[in-house]
Amino acid sequence: MAVRAGTLSIWAGAVSAALVLALTLGTLGAVVWRADGFGALGPRDWGYVWFTVWQAAASAAISVALAIPVARALARRQFWGRSALITVLGAPFILPTIVAILGLLAVFGRTGVVSEVLSWAGLEPISIFGVHGILLAHVFFNLPFATRLILQGWLAIPAERFRLAASLGFTVSDVARVLERPMLRDVVPGVFLVIFLICTTSFAVALALGGGPQATTVELAIYQAFRFDFDLSKAALLGLVQVMICVVAGALVFKVRLPSTSGVGLDRVVRRWEADGLGLRVLDALCIGLAAVFLLGPLSMIVIEGIGGVFSLPGSVLEAAWSSIWVTVVSTALCMALALSMALAVSRLSAGAGALVEGIGSLTIAASPLVMGTGLFVMIFPFADPTALSLPVTAVVNAAMALPFALRALVPAVRDLQAGYGNLSASLGISGFTWLRWVAVPRLRRPLGFGAGLAAALSMGDLGVIALFSNPDVETLPLALFRLMGAYRLEQAAAAALVLVTLSLAAFWICDRGGRVDVDV
Amino acid sequence: MLTFENMRVDLGDFTMEGTFEVAKGARVAVMGPSGAGKSTLLNVIAGFQDATGRLMWNGQEIGPLPPAERPVSMVFQDNNLFPHLTAFQNVGLGISPKLKLNEADATRVREALQRVGLEGLEDRKPAALSGGQQSRVAVARMLLREKPLVLLDEPFAALGPAMRIEMLGLVRDLVAETGATLLMITHDPDDARLIADQCILVADGRVEAPVEMETFLSDPPEAMRAYLGT
């Protein structure tokens, strides 16, 4: 193109990419360097690796297996509240992990609803600490995600094919064989791998529900090696193992085609003729009903148990909430600055260089915040007390972790902007900051708002690096909540959880709404 | 005078070349089959598309200049207006890309909008304007930029016939007033007759020199005859 290249935005994008590289590969290098070589992996460490992979695979398999009937039911039934339920299916992504865990404890824990019912019946109460708790929490988070993705696959089958099937007199099993199973073969592997990847790095779940030789993930082992033994060579070694697990899973995910997660068009229901029988209708109602109860039950328990305690929360929790808000604001701003500069650079670079920048921006999807945190600790330690910097470090790491999602929202939008208004801007001589102010930011408000909403919600609910760096005086709200749970102050924990989930949803809503209101399309 | 010596565009599976001159103040229709490169030609002149050869305006080479510094004002097929800016702001960009307008500038913007018949609609955004009114905003900005060379890439193609004829008449009057040179892509011989006095044929990878409109339409070249169905 004869258009003068936006050198400034390319530089800004390059600086951002360098920062992300420093946070991912740089921190990893710092860990390796500080470790003074590796100890060998002992049998116990292999146990952690095995458990990490095994629980992630099992979580992904269960989530997908349960999601298929739910998605099938949603694809072929219209009912009151359907679109509300589909919206709720999108919520776990912005729901703080620790809140969900508290909700699950309230339903499935030793003093939870299910245990109480069992004890009335004269049976032993159940406990969700350990393997099955981890699986339960992972399924809780990923069943909705899997359902949305698979539902997308179902709705991508053209309605005409179902009409053709009806006119040919297909039965339920004919439709399944000819239309549905080929779609599932296409969609399910990708969904499985993404959930597998998510479950290998879900530190908060392992921290809250795991532990012990039977249920320790690699990330939890890093945390323990670092925090309890300050054994950096062990932490470094485990960190490398974790990175390898993530890289392998990430590379596999990169290979498979994923259905779009935009959620656009999920409101459509295809009229079906072969599935009108009463038995199938009852089956679908059961699937949808059980999924709704499973998802909404724990959240309702938080509200029921927490609402009374909200106004008597101790001052320390409110302070923690305040810290969380600040961390979120800083982290979101940083994440969006990184994402916007990288997206702009991607649109101005050649295809290869652009893909490289985009790839660097997506690195953190396969990075472990625990490894990042350990590396930053090692890097900061010679100069300052790392625990005094726990909040800024948390903000930076959270920004990096949310970056891939923000980039995914922004890159296509910037590309469209260039295609639609690039020539007009060039012919009028609008460039640099003027272009940013009058063209880019107004035109990109929607993806900027959505990306910022995701970044804000993720940061608000994060319980990762902060647990690694924490000292008794400084905490974020998720950490305060975790500590209340550990002290068995469950009513206060529920109240804090209610505050946290409100803040997370509000953070998402404010940003996302800000990008939508008064937008001129 | 616009001159292009040894123009050559190479897009891999598409090439286009030609040498031509357009007299100052001429109104030229650019015609030819779909995909022949009519838009590419305008994009080369406007600076959106690289080409080899010497592109000159009044004897000065303009090929190396970025789009905004060329003596060119272009109205595109669509996306002529930023949807988030008002009609006033969209026109004001023609004076200052930073939208820093003093009182005199603001008066000029209002006068330009008045000239195209949009008085009182200054504060509307494109979504609140009809298709014809949106075209008028783009034309108002073109008028304000006072560039001696005006390129129209079928900006009125989506309008109804009556509206299109009205817009073509408006543009014809405006370029007559300002003495600007006009190059306009069109598919319709009637549109071409209405606004242009010469015609450039783009076909089979070649850009021909302009010929008189009546000669062109009464005895069209072979490539054009197939296209027009005459």
Q: Which domains does chain A have, with CATH numbers?
A: 1-36+313-521 (1.10.3720.10), 48-276 (1.10.3720.10)
Are both B155 and B222 inside the same structural domain? yes
Q: Are A520 and B84 inside 8 Å of each other by CB?
A: yes
Are both B194 and B128 inside the same structural domain? no
Query: pLDDT of B71-105, one tens digit each?
Result: 999 998 888 999 889 999 999 998 988 888 999 99
Determine the number of helices (DSSP H) and then strands (DSSP E) in chain A.
24, 0
Q: Is B16 an 8 Å CB contact of chain A?
A: no
pLDDT at position B223 is 79
Q: A-chain residues within 8 Å CB-CB of B94?
A: 428
Complex ipTM value: 0.80
Q: What is the mean pLDDT of residues B187-211?
A: 91
Structure tokens at A130: 């350990």
Question: What is the rounded average pLDDT for all residues in chain A?
Answer: 86
pLDDT at position A264 is 53
Q: How far apart are CA A270 and CA A246, in angstroms?
A: 38
Structure tokens at A314: 């101790």
Q: How far apart are CA A339 and CA A407, in angstroms?
A: 5
Intervals of chain A under pLDDT 70 = 1-6, 36-39, 256-268, 519-521
Are both B136 and B185 inside the same structural domain? no
By the 8 A CB rule, do B209 and B30 touch? no
pLDDT at position A1 is 37
Cα B78 to Cα A462, B113, B157, distances in angstroms: 45, 19, 9
Q: Are A434 and B72 inside 8 Å of each other by CB?
A: no
Query: pLDDT of B110-140, one tens digit each?
Result: 999 998 999 999 999 999 999 899 999 999 9
Are both B62 and B90 inside the same structural domain? no
Burial of A257 (0-12, 13-18, 19+ CB in 10 A): exposed
**Inside any domain, residue B76:** no
Rounded to the nearest angstrom, the minimum Cα separation between B204 and chain A is 23
Q: Are A520 and B126 inside 8 Å of each other by CB?
A: yes
CA angle A411/A412/A417 to nearest 5° reads 100
Are both B65 and B169 inside the same structural domain? yes
Mutate to test the interface with B, among A3, A416, A418, A424 (most CBs of B within 10 A): A424
pLDDT at position A36 is 65
pLDDT at position A499 is 93
pLDDT at position A267 is 65
Owning domain of residue B98: 82-146
Q: How far apart are CA A211 and CA A216, in angstroms?
A: 5
Q: B-chain residues within 8 Å CB-CB of A431?
A: 97
**Count: domains in chain B:** 2
Q: Is B128 an 8 Å CB contact of chain A?
A: no
Q: Which of B80, B97, B125 sits opposite A430 (nearest CB)?
A: B97
Question: Of B125, B146, B167, which closes a domain?
Answer: B146
pLDDT at position A261 is 52
Q: B-chain residues within 8 Å CB-CB of A423?
A: 43, 46, 48, 67, 74, 76, 79
pLDDT at position A134 is 93
Q: How far apart are CA A109 and CA A116, in angstroms?
A: 9
Are both B93 and B192 inside the same structural domain? no
pLDDT at position A4 is 44
The DSSP 8-state label assigned to residue A126 in this structure reads P
Interface of A with B in 409-438 (CB under 8 A): 420-421, 423-424, 426-431, 434, 438
Rounded to the nearest angstrom, the minimum Cα separation between A353 and chain B is 21
Are both B63 and B122 inside the same structural domain? no
Q: Phi/psi of residue B2, each to 5°? A: -95, 125
User: Which amino acid, A36?
Assistant: D
Q: Which of B47, B66, B84 sits opposite A442 (nearest CB)?
A: B84
Q: Is B61 an 8 Å CB contact of chain A?
A: no
Cα B53 to Cα B8, B32, B45, B65, distances in angstroms: 6, 22, 11, 14
Rounded to the nearest angstrom, the minimum Cα separation between A423 and chain B is 7
H helices of A256-389, where?
Answer: 278-306, 315-348, 351-361, 369-380
CA angle A177/A183/A185 to nearest 5° reads 90
